[in-house]
Amino acid sequence: MRTLKTWTVARTLDNGVELRVEDRHLLTILVLEETLIRVLLRKDGAFRLDRTWSIAPAGDVPWAGRPRLSVDGFSLPPFTLDQEDGRLRLTTARLRVTVGHPLALTWEARDEGGAFRLIARDRPTAAYMLGARTHAHAHFLLRHPGERHYGLGEKAGPLERSGRRYEMRDLDAMGYDARSTDPLYKHIPFTITRTAEAGVVGLFHDNLAGCWYDLGNELDNYHKPFRAYRAEDGDLDYYLSWAPSILEVVKTQARLTGGTAFPPLWSLGYSGSTMHYTDAPDAQARLEGFLRLIAEHDIPCDSFQLSSGYTSIGDKRYVFNWNRDKVPDPKGMAATFARATVHLAANIKPCLLQDHPRYGEAAEAGLFIRDAETGAPERSAFWDDEGSHLDFTNPRTVAWWRANVTEALLDVGIGSTWNDNNEYEVWDSTAQCDGFSVPVDIGLIRPLMPVLMTRASHDAQVAHAPDTRPYLISRSGSPGLQRYAQTWSGDNRTSWDTLRYNIRMGLGLSLSGLFNVGHDVGGFAGPRPDPELFVRWVQNGIFHPRFTIHSWNDDGTVNEPWMYPEVTPLVREAIHLRYRLIPYLYSALHRCVTEREPMLRPTFLDHERDPRCFEETDDFLIGHDLLVATVVEPGATERRVSLPRNDTGWWSVRDGTWHPGGTDLTLAVDLASIPLFARGGSVIPFAEGLRRADASRDTRRTWAVFPPPPDGQGHSREYADDGLDARALAATHRLTRFSLTGDAGSVALSWTAQGTYRPAHAEATVVLPAGERRPLTVNGRAIRSGDTVPLF
């Protein structure tokens, strides 16, 4: 690649400036928000791909993509432009970017005192490179002492990314090592850099081609310490955001890429799944037997994810084909699950094996990605054979897919889709996609295909049940996937390391704008977990947005809540706790959707002034108010917890004792222990006796009040609706806001509610921690712990 050095001002724009680079390329700097600026390079003045599907500040994009030069959805604030001493300077109310010679950008942010402070700087030597005969490109920034790097999605290893190299190339990485395997399932080209003193920088490269991030692994004597972004194709097009806090940068990225889908309430319940059932010759009997077993063992459950064995012919899978020997009556089976109020989500795959019964039909209709030389369907390895991948940039493919989702699943009574094995491992990068009538190489949009596949499934579900919020799952994708579906960290391997490092993967996804995430509890591949590991995995999994026990164990066993009778009571206890927490989790999901805040939160997200929160830890927050410190080491008899520093302290949910923020605890634990702490000043809504995440059955509510210390205060909320209505956010819902204050002699809770929705419970029982002795008033009325208050 050639280094880009020289530039001149080509023209000024209403929202930026355009530079001519090396007398042939165009570099455009656009002011989108006061703290968001975009830089894009067009080789020879033209885009390699003139559309984007990732940028969606208004909530979504057209099927054919958003024009790459569009600025719709941004406020486009005023800025100044001046040139002095050969440098160009562009300034907003909060950011300043200076273009120097040779080509390199310097970024500054205005502090509270009005002074500009350095936040990022391109490498002064060879900051930008561009392929001479290709569209490969690279961007280099300096690394500064004290910086911390986060983001990049579900990457293996520690949450802090410094000193390592990562690749973006979606793979079906079954059985991965959660400490080290790279790449994995998703393409999330977004980094967060916390500077030593000047706030936080978000950097999103809007490119779907394969790329690499080097965050300090590489050294070169000819350059100062640097970090690198390198791409094999596509356009250099990046968005730089700044904020004083990591949380604000995360929220900016979530808005930039379109926000988060609002799934139904039942999606927060336990979801059963295993390949074992649908691979069995009597699959329908096994599946219906699951319903008997959850009732027999008193295991609450809201859904079951139907693995792909129901589509098998022999040992292989054929999407939309029902194996009637295994499942003789799909409609009857779906009706049986519906009567048990357990929702079904069926596994579907975007590749048709070469001997698929409908391969010829799809090929004749031109629905596959095509070989660039022959025009024939491309052929790639897929599930122990070869097959051709469906092209979701072809409207005919989208229509065919929607029709088959409707006929094979929705009309049968299966209302949700599990979009799986959609990494699109098509390694001929020149294979052709329709591109909505503008042909495009698959190498430019590979990770987009699972997003469009999921969107097609989403549209089928919405058309079939327009008044109900849809639920979808997708394993692979790129930014924008979260607009349609929940995701998870793929086919993990059973080990204690996986349990620990999946926590970090979930947090990495959450910091990168994908908030509705989880993991295969118990491990998907490898040996089945032993009883201790299984219990600990369940105890941890109940605190993630997606809670699914799923497996394909090497020894043919199956992970089920009752797999070890000696520990089934502990598994049951943990799952019951999950269902008590459903109102709190739903409130956190509502905040995620409406305010673009993660549900899973590293402790530093809310406590950036506590340096201990940036140390390697297994602790995390779920929502704003619950600190999770589950046991993730074998044979543990104690658990060390560092409570983040705050002004209101933390309450042990188990024993009701209060601890100041900043306290280091060593807790004695046994196999039943689930260390959990509530923020002082919070009110946690609990559902009592709930066995389905169903608003109509949520008839008993407890408000667990965790008071602040004297002169402290806190705020929290509870959101409720019927759990299904597609219009709930705009129409019928109820939002209760809590305010807690305390002095030396009393605690006061005040609450207000807005909205027309009336929950199934007409009152709430107010409970104080065992260690709280101050009297309590609720909306000015003195009550005792355990008393009820009417809601209407």
DSSP assignment string, 174-236: TTB-TTT--S-SB---EEEEE-SSS-EEEEEE---S-EEEESSS---TTS-SEEEEEESSS-E
Q: CA 450, CA 206: separation in Å to the nearest integer?
A: 17
* 157 falls within a domain: yes
Half-sphere exposure for 698 (CA within 13 Å, toward CB): 26
665: Cβ contacts below 8 Å, ≥ 6 apart:
640, 641, 642, 643, 659
Question: Strands (DSSP E) along 331-451, which ranges?
Answer: 343-348, 351-353, 380-382, 385-389, 416-419, 432-433, 440-441
What are the beta bridge partners of residue 60?
A: none
Query: Is 297 found in the same domain as 214?
Result: no
- Residue 34, pLDDT score: 97
Strands 271-273 and 303-306: parallel
What is the pLDDT at residue 375?
A: 97
Q: In the block, which residue shows the tokens 């402290």?
A: 712
Q: What is the pLDDT of residue 109?
A: 98
Q: Is the peptide bond before 67 cis (omega within 30 degrees of 0)?
A: no
Would residue 660 count as lying in a domain?
yes
- In a domain, residue 507? The reply is yes
Cα–Cα nearest to 173, from 445, 476, 428: 476
Whether 377 is covered by a domain: the verdict is no
The answer to whether 12 and 80 have CB atoms below 8 angstroms apart is no
Same domain, 498 and 614: no
Same structural domain, 202 and 274: no
Q: What is the CATH number of the domain that holds 318?
A: 3.20.20.80
Tell me the pairing of strands 380-382 and 385-389.
antiparallel
Residue in the structure block whose two tokens are 């009538």: 437
> Does residue 213 sit in the same domain as residue 292?
no
Separation in Å, CA 646 to CA 66, 441, 661, 708, 737: 43, 52, 5, 11, 21
Nearest to 510 by CA among 485, 542, 482, 548: 482
Number of residues in the chain: 792
* C-alpha distances out from residue 453 to 370, 417, 465, 604, Å: 17, 11, 19, 35
> Do 711 and 738 lie in a common domain?
yes
Kindly give the residue spans of alpha helices, DSSP state H, lying in 393-512. 395-408, 448-464, 496-511
Question: Could you give the number of structural domains in the chain?
Answer: 3
Give a yes or no: residue 560 inside a domain: yes
Domain limit, last residue, from 556, 589, 622: 589
Single residue among 198, 231, 256 that ends a domain in this structure = 256
Q: Could you tell me which of 27, 61, 25 has the C-alpha nearest to residue 238?
A: 27
626 in a domain, yes or no?
A: yes
Nearest to 651 by CA among 574, 576, 740: 740
In this structure, the answer to whether residues 238 and 283 fall within a common structural domain is no
pTM given for the model: 0.97
Assess whether 613 and 575 both reside in one domain: no
Looking at residue 556, what is its pLDDT?
87
678 and 617 in a common domain: yes
CATH of the domain at 778: 2.60.40.1180
Burial class (CB in 10 A: 0-12, 13-18, 19+), 573: middle
Residues 330, 449 within the same domain:
yes
Residues 184 and 41 in one domain: yes
Locate 455 and state its tokens. 């969107």
Do 528 and 584 belong to one domain?
yes
Long-range own/partner contacts, residues 572-575 (CB < 8 A, 24 or more apart): 572/297, 572/298, 572/299, 573/672, 574/535, 574/538, 574/539, 574/542, 574/674, 575/270, 575/299, 575/300, 575/538, 575/542
Range of the domain at 756: 600-790
**Low pLDDT (below 70) residues in the chain:** none
How far the first Cα of the chain sits from its last, in Å, is 69
Query: Are 140 and 238 found together in one domain?
Result: yes
**Secondary structure, 3-state, 549-574:** ECCCCCCCCCCCCCCCCCCHHHHHHH
Please choose, from the candidates 522, 532, 531, 572, the residue with its C-alpha nearest in 3D space to the C-alpha of residue 552. Answer: 522
Q: Is residue 385 part of a domain?
A: no
* Bond prior to 759 in cis (omega within 30° of 0): no
In single-letter form, the type of residue at position 560 comes to: E
Sequence-distant (≥ 6) Cβ neighbours of residue 732 within 8 angstroms = 721, 722, 725, 755, 756, 757
Q: What are phi and psi of 484, to 5 degrees?
A: -125, -25
- 723 CB burial (10 A radius; 0-12, 13-18, 19+): buried
Distance CA 129, CA 230 (A): 9
Which one, of 632, 738, 615, lies nearest residue 685 by Cα?
A: 738
Cα 406 to its chain centre, rounded Å, is 27
pLDDT of residue 555: 87
Residue 27 belongs to domain with CATH number? 2.60.40.1760
C-alpha 508/C-alpha 493 separation (Å) is: 19
Structural domain includes residue 278? yes
Phi, psi of 481 (to 5 degrees): -55, -40
- The domain boundary, picked from 524, 556, 589, lies at 589
- For residues 348 and 417, the answer to whether their CB atoms sit within 8 Å is yes
